[in-house]
């Protein structure tokens, strides 16, 4: 019996929010494996803000998704067929091969990660102990360089990256202030994640509340949002502040990025510019295994907590991306297949 792979191909580059017609859902039979290949049954698809940028055909830190090819993305699944000496049937793996339900891959593919045996759910290897968790770990430690008693502000604090950043910063002995949208998310950030405070950017007194929460200024601002949130934080930055720029989700649907209020534009206009730079997790690829092990230990010991929004059905991937871009999801957005 043939194996049928369902995949979303990028069919059109979006203007603004990506609508359904940007993708084409197709089905195809998988071909028999060759020596050194494996077939992965995908169980979970990660939905992340960066995907919107990959849909554009422009100069960026990574190549854009190509029209007619699977939409960019990472998945977690189980090896169901193997002609490899490296991976056996039953192995759980993560792989960065796009929006597909069955993935045939060479066992030398550099994006494959074998998930270690643990009590941590497989979906978490796309979140807190996966790419978002590693992004938080390296962005905070390598770019932010936290010191005890410093004030760390994290935007998108309830999200997959921000939630881990704040909890790691607390382990460094920092005061941590989150920024999130709405009372429910702010309550989660304070009560479940253990941040010292969390400010609702949707509230009328956002800037005053943020200033009151950061009496000693801001030493590290972990940037995920851009726009008005960055404007507000920029007024509170201390002289030796550091700003790791992970992303700026509020601008991802802008038609003219040059005119958008990106962090680079906002921070660049300051009289005293903080140390800031955009970073990507692949800069420290040789340290991924160590970081994943550290994050896994923290999760197992309840030092890192996380929230997931798990949506059933591969066909719901486009809407899930729109939900991420508008902040409707809670924590890490995942599609269960």
pLDDT digits (tens, 9 = 90+) for 30-69: 999 999 999 999 999 999 988 998 898 865 556 788 999 9
Enclosing H/E stretch for 152: strand 151-155
Tell me the fold of 131-282.
Rossmann fold (3.40.50)
The radius of gyration of the chain from alpha carbons, rounded to an integer in Å, stands at 20
Q: Tell me the three state secondary structure of residue 75.
A: strand
The average pLDDT across 8-24 equals: 94
What's residue 186's pLDDT? Answer: 97
Greatest mean pLDDT range, 137-146, 225-234, 326-335: 137-146
**Phi, psi (5° rounding) for residue 81?**
-140, 145
At 327, the pLDDT band (50, 70, 90 cuts) reads: confident
Name the CATH superfamily, with its identifier, for domain 4-127+306-336: Medium-chain alcohol dehydrogenases, catalytic domain (3.90.180.10)
Query: What per-residue confidence (pLDDT) applies to 255?
Result: 60
Average pLDDT over residues 325-337: 92
Of 149, 183, 146, 178, nearest in space to 161 by CA: 178
**Distance between CA 331 and CA 311 in Å, rounded?**
12
Quote the CA–CA distance of 52 and 18 in Å, as a whole number. Answer: 8
Mean pLDDT of 270-282: 92
Domain spans of the chain, in order of start = 4-127+306-336, 131-282
Helix (H/G/I), strand (E/B), else coil: 302 = coil
Are the folds of 4-127+306-336 and 131-282 the same? no
Pairing of β 102-106 and β 37-47 = antiparallel
Asked if 270 and 284 touch (Cβ cutoff 8 Å), the reply is no
Is residue 112 within 8 Å of residue 52, measured between CB atoms?
Answer: no
């Amino acid at each position: 019996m043939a194996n049928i792979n369902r995949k979303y191909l990028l069919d059109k580059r979006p203007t603004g929010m990506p609508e359904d017609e940007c993708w084409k859902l197709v089905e195809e039979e998988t071909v028999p494996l060759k020596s050194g290949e494996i077939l992965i049954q995908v169980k979970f698809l990660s939905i992340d803000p960066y995907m919107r940028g990959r849909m554009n055909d422009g100069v960026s830190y990574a190549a854009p998704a190509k029209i007619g090819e699977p939409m960019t993305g990472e998945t977690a699944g189980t090896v169901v067929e193997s002609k490899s000496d490296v991976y056996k049937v039953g192995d759980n793996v993560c792989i960065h091969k796009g929006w597909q339900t069955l993935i045939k891959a060479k066992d030398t593919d550099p994006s494959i990660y074998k998930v270690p045996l643990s009590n941590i759910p497989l979906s978490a290897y796309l979140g807190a102990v996966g790419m978002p968790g590693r992004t938080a770990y390296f962005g905070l430690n390598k770019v932010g360089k936290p010191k005890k008693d410093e004030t760390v502000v994290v935007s998108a604090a309830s999200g997959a990256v921000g939630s881990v950043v704040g909890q790691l910063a607390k382990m460094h002995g920092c005061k941590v202030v989150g920024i999130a949208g709405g009372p429910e998310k702010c309550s989660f950030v304070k009560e479940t994640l253990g941040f010292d405070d969390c400010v609702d950017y949707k509230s009328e007194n956002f800037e005053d509340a943020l200033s009151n929460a950061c009496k000693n200024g801001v030493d590290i601002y972990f940037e995920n949002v851009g726009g008005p949130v960055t404007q507000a934080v920029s007024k509170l930055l201390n002289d030796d502040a550091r700003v790791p720029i992970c992303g700026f989700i509020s601008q991802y649907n802008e038609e003219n990025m040059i005119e958008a209020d990106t962090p680079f534009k906002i921070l660049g206009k300051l009289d005293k510019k903080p140390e800031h730079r955009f970073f990507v997790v692949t800069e420290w690829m040789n340290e991924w295994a160590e970081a994943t092990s550290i994050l896994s230990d923290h999760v197992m010991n309840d030092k890192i907590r996380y929230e997931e929004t798990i949506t059933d059905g591969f066909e719901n991937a486009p809407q899930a991306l729109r939900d991420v871009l508008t902040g409707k999801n809670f924590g890490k957005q995942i599609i269960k297949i």
